[in-house]
């Protein structure tokens, strides 16, 4: 007797009529759809701006795995709160007994993968605006501390074929990555950064690697890795061998420089977000960056006038950082000259602010020293967690002594969080008092450490700005000398 198979029910999203099938993913099928007009529908400005067609993702509830609900909830939650011209917009979501429906913006041009395959590879001139649009999304996400975690051509949609606007989609595995990093394996292997496959925590620089793989695929028609099996692909990604950029396609030095910076296996050697956003291959219109620098400068003046010198210095450094970056890529000599003057004056102002802050924070000569904590009375023998927490605070002391303030702050934070929990549950008043004294001591140490870390980071930022500014002046002098030499030659 032949086996009988029950056919899957037809998706029926409320208020929408489904049309052609656009594609299928690991946990849903996407259809083109249109809104069904009803007798209750009345013309309004809101409805007038709604599009004619939509893309509706239909997820079978029977096919849900243990992790799929988390992915769906994550995507819906993120798309509800992030709006950007280069991110696919979510209009609605609903469900019935068979399906969950996500109603999204319809992109008539298909995805970037199809676009590349139809042309085999893209010229640098064609690839550049694509990467610039992805960079705009990445800046938006970076400022919100969100990592996409699955950037790939299939997740980048095109509004049309002629003059396409890119729309980044599929935020199902996107996440906020804190200071401690993440260890979860997320994304698509071919576009996955090497550090995700390691046992060490990683941060949002994994998205920069993915953009490097996408750019490589645009320019050369293939990603950096091609393997016949998953194991071989994993081995290639985790290899220590540097990525070789092919020479069979002519690309500009700016393009090659960016590609090499993005495809660094070691995230510490990979191009930083700041340098990526400012890279000549990415940055064209400087008006928004100049406006942002001017705004930082005005905020600095405002905070200085109101007496908040710390905020004033923070914004002064931010303004200087932006101005120096503009000088590097600006081709307008007059504007560069004006901005260079601002940098010179800003550096002098920042040094004055630093000195005033240090004078304010210098402790009076009569200030009493913080007593040593009564750690000898703290019984750690039968409490492994508390013992480890106390050891973290001792580690913080050692790191502070060698001026590694950032790491010291992390050690104090982890140790103190455990101690504070322990004190809340401690019923013995004597032990509670000892814990209180130890916590108070290390809270003071942690505050000192944070202040020193902020000052150290500020010095590093200032030194970098001064170095960049000095280098720019040297290059300017060289160009003037070269120009004068050329002029003399012409006159002769």
Largest CA distance in the chain: 102
Segment 186-206 mean pLDDT? 90
**What's the pLDDT at 39?**
52
Question: Which residues are CB-contacts of 370 (< 8 A; sequence separation ≥ 6)?
Answer: 441, 444, 445
| Residues 273-326 pLDDT 10s | 989 998 989 976 678 778 888 999 999 999 999 999 889 988 988 888 888 877
Q: 154, 113 in Cβ contact below 8 A?
A: yes
Distance of alpha carbon 324 from its chain centroid, rounded? 22
Angle at CA of residue 390, ends 386 and 391, nearest 5°? 115
- Rounded CA gap, 338 and 85, in Å? 33
Nearest 10 degrees: CA dihedral of 333, 334, 336, 341?
A: 140
Tell me if residue 150 is catalytic.
yes
Residue ranges of domains in the chain, CATH in brackets? 16-39+48-105 (3.30.200.20), 112-278 (1.10.510.10), 295-361 (1.20.58), 383-456 (1.20.58.80)
Segment 95-119 mean pLDDT? 90
**What's the pLDDT at 451?**
80
Segment 397-403 mean pLDDT? 88
**What's the pLDDT at 195?**
93
**What's the pLDDT at 301?**
92
For the cut 90, the answer to whether the pLDDT of residue 119 exceeds it is no
DSSP at 202:
B
DSSP per-residue codes, 346-392: HHHHHHHHHHHHHHHHSPPTTPPPPPPP-GGG---TT-HHHHHHHHH
Of the candidates 92, 96, 150, 162, the residue annotated as catalytic is 150
**What's the pLDDT at 288?**
75
Write the burial class of residue 186 (CB in 10 Å: 0-12 exposed, 13-18 middle, 19+ buried).
middle
Q: How confident is the model at residue 452 (pLDDT cuts 50, 70, 90)?
A: confident
- Rounded CA gap, 478 and 66, in Å? 63
Segment 148-176 mean pLDDT? 88
For the cut 70, the answer to whether the pLDDT of residue 26 exceeds it is no
The lowest-confidence range among 40-44, 412-416, 485-489 is 485-489
């Amino acid at each position: 007797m032949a086996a009988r198979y029950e056919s899957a029910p037809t998706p029926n999203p409320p208020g929408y009529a489904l049309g052609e099938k656009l594609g299928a993913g690991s946990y849903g099928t996407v259809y083109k759809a249109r809104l069904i007009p009803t007798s209750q529908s009345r013309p309004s400005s809101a409805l007038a701006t709604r599009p004619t067609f939509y893309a509706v993702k239909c997820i079978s509830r029977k096919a849900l795995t243990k992790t799929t609900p988390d992915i769906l909830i994550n995507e819906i939650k993120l798309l509800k709160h992030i709006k950007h011209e280069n991110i696919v917009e979510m209009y609605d979501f609903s469900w019935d007994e068979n399906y969950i429906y996500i109603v999204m913006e319809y992109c008539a041009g298909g995805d970037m993968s199809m676009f590349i395959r139809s042309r085999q590879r893209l010229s640098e001139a064609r690839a550049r605006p694509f990467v610039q649009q992805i960079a705009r999304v990445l800046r938006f996400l970076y400022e919100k501390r969100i990592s996409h975690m699955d950037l790939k051509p299939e997740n980048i949609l095109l509004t049309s074929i002629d003059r396409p606007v890119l729309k980044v989609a599929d935020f199902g595995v996107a996440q906020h990555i804190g200071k401690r990093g993440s260890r979860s394996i997320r994304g698509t292997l071919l576009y996955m950064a090497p550090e995700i496959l390691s046992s060490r925590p990683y941060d949002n620089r994994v998205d920069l690697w993915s953009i490097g793989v996408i750019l490589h695929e645009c320019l050369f028609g293939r990603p950096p890795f091609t393997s016949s099996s998953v194991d071989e692909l994993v081995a290639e990604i985790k290899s220590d061998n540097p990525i070789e950029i092919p020479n069979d396609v002519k690309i500009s030095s700016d393009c090659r420089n960016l590609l090499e910076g993005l495809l660094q296996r070691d995230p510490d050697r990979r191009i930083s977000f700041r340098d990526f956003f400012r890279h000549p291959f990415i940055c064209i219109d400087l008006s928004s960056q100049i406006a942002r620098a001017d705004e930082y400068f005005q905020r600095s003046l405002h905070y200085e006038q109101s007496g908040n010198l710390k905020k004033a210095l923070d914004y002064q450094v931010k303004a200087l950082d932006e101005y120096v970056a503009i000088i590097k890529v600006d081709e307008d000599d007059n504007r560069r000259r004006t901005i260079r003057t601002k940098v010179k004056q800003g550096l002098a102002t920042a040094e004055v602010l630093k000195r005033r802050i240090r004078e304010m924070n210098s402790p009076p000569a009569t200030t009493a020293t913080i007593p040593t904590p009564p750690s000898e009375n703290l019984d750690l023998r039968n409490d492994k967690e508390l013992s480890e927490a106390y050891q973290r605070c001792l580690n913080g002391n050692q790191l502070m002594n060698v001026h590694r303030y950032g790491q010291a702050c992390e050690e104090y934070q982890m140790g103190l969080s455990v101690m504070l929990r322990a004190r809340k549950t401690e019923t013995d008043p004597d032990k509670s008092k000892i814990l209180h004294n130890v916590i108070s001591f290390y809270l003071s140490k942690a505050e000192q450490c944070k202040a020193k870390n902020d000052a150290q980071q500020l010095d590093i930022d200032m030194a970098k700005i001064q170095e960049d500014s000095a280098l720019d002046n040297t290059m300017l002098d060289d160009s003037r000398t070269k120009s004068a030499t050329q002029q003399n030659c012409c006159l002769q």
